[in-house]
Structure 1
Amino acid sequence: MDYKQAGVNIEEGYRAVAKYRDLAAGTTNAAVINGIGSFAGMFSLKELIRAGAGMEDPVLVSGTDGVGTKLELAFKLKKYDTVGIDCVAMCVNDILCHGGRPLFFLDYIACGKLDAEVAAEIVTGVAAGCRETGSVLLGGETAEMPGFYEAGKYDIAGFAVGMVDRKNIIDGSRIQAGDTLVGIASSGPHSNGFSLIRKVLPDLHEDFGGMPLGMALLEPTRLYVKPVLALLEQMEVRGMAHITGGGFYENVPRMFSRPLDAVFGIPPAKAAGTGNAWTIPPVFARIAWGVAGGGSTGPQAQEAGAELLETDEALRKLMFNTYNMGIGFVLALAPEDSGRAIDFLDRRGYPAWEIGTVKAARGTTGAVAFV
């Protein structure tokens, strides 16, 4: 018996690496010493120092994350080119919360039986996410593990490194009571809460506004790096939170360095008559109806879910403790800066709204409340 008979196809691995090499080439810059296929990725310290030119004390910022069970939707719909964007976004958006500009990214793909075409589609998304955020796809690993993963199943995780000047690190220490919380629109559920979604929305081909529901759910995580880094050059941002697993209740307090409360207005779940205010996107109403055990589908389910989000406090809290509910990134700003920040982001195609206020903590740990 040889390695191929044991389930590992070395030749398919070579094909995959050749495809990765071409995809990574579109993200490279002068700091990269070697190409994909080496034992390790190398990034020039000289170029790193140049990247930190003007910084008094450059600090490296790192983050790692994966895509989770959202991948199951990609397998079922045989659409693999967006989950790589998710993987990059989950890492670089976290780095961004501390003011870090991403420099490079590495990925790890694991599967039961390697298909170079599928793996290349996944890495196509990784490369696209790197290009959009100005980071380099420096390297990675593809592991074929027959008998451990089912054939046709893949997992992907990533690791990113960025840089920020120590004096510009955003750690929440400047946030104070009275500050305004500005939310930037998400593109959907991003990469969180899919274990629940898969249970309550089993029919991925259900009509959702003229498209399969599964395709709407596969919309990749929004990348906030470029507009927010540009905003940091224009004004003081006192704190930032990436709304990931745990929703508002777990992620907003992470931006505070001391006990403070975040108070949000309850957003409407129906778009009619809300003007330019933050409105919960329909996909979350559809999820809410599934969570509540509703049996109908299509527009009726969305309407029923929207109604429940406005009337069922327990369901609303569960949803805001699981999903981003249409807000993928939150900024804490001085009140006088919020309008200018919203206009700046809107003009760059990132809708934003004043969604809450920082208050003095009523308890010893700080809390999130909706009123």
Structure 2
Amino acid sequence: MDYRSAGVDIDKADGLIGAVKKAAKSTYTPGVLSGVGGFGACFAVPAGYKEPVLVSSTDGVGTKILLARELEDYSGMGFDLLAMNADDVICAGAKPLFFIDYIAVGKLDEKQYLDLIDSMARACRECGVAMIGGETAELPGMYPPGDFDLAGFTVGVVERSRMLDSKNVREGDSVIGLLSSGFHSNGFSLVRKVVETAKLDLRKDYGFGELGKKLLTPTKLYCHILAEMLDEFPGAVRGIAHITGGGIPGNLNRALPGNLDARIDTASWETPAEMKFIVEQGGIAKDESYKVFNMGIGMGLICDSSKEQEISGFLRKKGAENRVIGKTVPGNGKIVLV
């Protein structure tokens, strides 16, 4: 009896290390001191900070994985995973520095595994984030062959005096919504339930492209664009909210002080067609849809109203389509959808 007979193939995993190292090295930035291969990856805090504050986040991509597995398309999973972490870190005003992944599988599938690693590396290169380490766990008995789960971890840095804090938000500030690329990585348990109940065909075009492909559209990455924006407009942006699980009401409120509400005009942007379709097919109430899905807004920024047009134009030039979607008004820290 040996480890392989128990379901764990160490030799196969070791044979893939070379490909993993190559992918990781393609993402390395000057701060990387040691990366994949050691017991712990090392990264130098960038020079120039007087009081550097490290900001961390960890998250996964949820049951979107099950759709990826069904359609055998893992090309966007790395973007989903990095976004769920790096785009959280930027909400504190911190520039993401490095990323670490955790992949748990029932039985290591070489193609599936390398597709995931390649996707993560491509996402990291897009954002200038170093993929410096990770862990792959083969867990027979815990996951059936073909099943897997993903988790990511990101650390960023911000000057203490430039940390974003809800106490700096003022009455009359503008809310800018950055358009999402689709469902991103949230609400897929409900999406899958709708697909099952309404007997939808993932490979059918319902008027907006093949349904499965639209559902698997990778999460839009914002962190690198927002990091540039914060440098370009110091002090003008007072809050950032990543619109993930909980939707606009459950995330934008986290960037508000207790004495202000954000009044959001839901007619100021267009909800993606595939999102409208799922809401309609599932008979999902408006309030519920806004609590579960991003409804077309992937990030919310609260900024000085006198700078809203400059900031909006800057973001658009950098590839982040956006709309001015609301204002802050007296209240008690809630989101008012109108």
Q: Secondary structure at the match of 1:75?
A: helix
Partner of 2:337: 370
1:286 paired with 2:277, answer yes
Q: How big is the shift at 1:81?
A: 1.9
> In 1, Cα distance between the equivalents of 2:116 and 2:34?
22
> In 1, Cα distance between the equivalents of 2:170 and 2:277?
36
TM-score by length of 1: 0.87
Checking the alignment, whether the CA contact within 8 Å between 1:87 and 1:157 is kept in structure 2 is yes
1:211 paired with 2:209, answer yes
Partner of 2:319: 349
Checking the alignment, whether the CA contact within 8 Å between 1:16 and 1:117 is kept in structure 2 is no
1:335 paired with 2:305, answer yes
Checking the alignment, whether the CA contact within 8 Å between 1:52 and 1:163 is kept in structure 2 is no
> In 1, Cα distance between the equivalents of 2:257 and 2:53?
19
Q: How big is the shift at 1:366?
A: 2.1
Q: Secondary structure at the match of 1:103?
A: strand
1:217-260 per-position Cα deviation (integer Å, ceiling 9, x unaligned): 11111111122111112221011100000001110111123332
Checking the alignment, whether the CA contact within 8 Å between 1:15 and 1:116 is kept in structure 2 is no
Partner of 1:360: 330
> In 2, Cα distance between the equivalents of 1:102 and 1:131?
12
Partner of 1:232: 230
Q: How big is the shift at 1:316?
A: 1.2
Checking the alignment, whether the CA contact within 8 Å between 2:208 and 2:273 is kept in structure 1 is no
1:254-301 per-position Cα deviation (integer Å, ceiling 9, x unaligned): 11233321111132xxxxxxxxx51111011111012218xxxxxxxx
Give the % identical residues: 40
Partner of 2:72: 78
Checking the alignment, whether the CA contact within 8 Å between 2:173 and 2:328 is kept in structure 1 is yes
Partner of 2:155: 161
Which letter does structure 2 place at the counterpart of 1:283? Answer: E
Partner of 1:263: 263
Distance change in 2, residues 1:358/1:177 (3 Å): same
Which letter does structure 2 place at the counterpart of 1:68? Answer: G
Checking the alignment, whether the CA contact within 8 Å between 2:208 and 2:274 is kept in structure 1 is no
> In 2, Cα distance between the equivalents of 1:327 and 1:61?
24
Q: Give the alignment's Cα RMSD to 1 decimal.
A: 1.4
| Unpaired runs of at least 5, structure 1 | 268-276, 294-314
Q: 1:173 aligns with which of 163, 167, 172?
A: 167
Checking the alignment, whether the CA contact within 8 Å between 1:208 and 1:216 is kept in structure 2 is no
> In 1, Cα distance between the equivalents of 2:229 and 2:238?
12
> In 2, Cα distance between the equivalents of 1:35 and 1:184?
33
Matching of residues 42-191 of structure 1 within 5 Å: 42-44=42-44, 48=45, 51-53=46-48, 55-191=49-185
> In 1, Cα distance between the equivalents of 2:244 and 2:40?
30
